[in-house]
Amino acid sequence: MSVPLGTEYVQRQLNLLREMKTKVATFAVMLIFWVVLSGMFDAFHLTLGVICCLLVAHFSHDLLFFGDGKHSNARSLLGMIAYLPWLFYQIILANLQIAYVVLHPRMFELIDPHVIRFKTKLKRPISKVTFAQSITLTPGTITVSIHDDEFSVYALTRSASDALPGEMEARVARALESDS
């Protein structure tokens, strides 16, 4: 019996290898996370943790390590590490702005709630989800829906809506979109 060496066979083998790598990496991440949070180191609890982590890794390996093979997970991870400090800073600034609005004597004049819609330039699903979650994490804004490339966002103030999509979208794109 001969082994087919066509491009389909090679591609299938590469996909299986990539899937196995993501399952092993997901298992390792989940097990470390489980051990750190549980604090249980006896055989019974460790065995339960290993079984649970194996099941989670088998069924959801593609959620933790996303990608289509065209984008590097390492590059995306480095991009997110660079993006998160900026996001945390924006969350602190937005907290201060919302606190100012809430504590202002003429609060009702400053609040201008509305829903805005805009198209995003982001293409990858993980980029869109990251952008949507970043908007929602920032006080004063909530992502209501994403349909294809259109975002609907609730904004509490005019200044919050004027900032969208803006720099946040550009930073998410820089972190997760480009390969250069």
Structure tokens at 89: 């800073």
Question: Which residues, 6+ apart, have CB-to-CB distance to 105 below 8 Å?
Answer: none
**25 or 68, higher pLDDT:** 25
DSSP for residue 178: -
pLDDT at residue 180 greater than cutoff 50? no
Q: Average pLDDT, whole number, for the chain?
A: 86
pLDDT at residue 1 greater than cutoff 80? no
Give the separation between CA 171 and CA 180, rounded to whole angstroms. Answer: 14
pLDDT number for residue 13: 84
Query: The pTM is what?
Result: 0.67
Helices and strands, number each (H, E), in the chain = 7, 3
Give the separation between CA 111 and CA 86, rounded to whole angstroms. Answer: 25
pLDDT number for residue 70: 58
Domain-wise residue ranges, the chain: 7-64, 73-176
pLDDT number for residue 3: 55
Q: What is the mean pLDDT of residues 47-73?
A: 77
Across 13-44, b (16+ Cβ under 10 Å) vs e yields eeeeeeeeebbeebbeebbeebbeeeeeeeee
Q: Is 79:175 a contact under the CB 8 Å cutoff?
A: yes
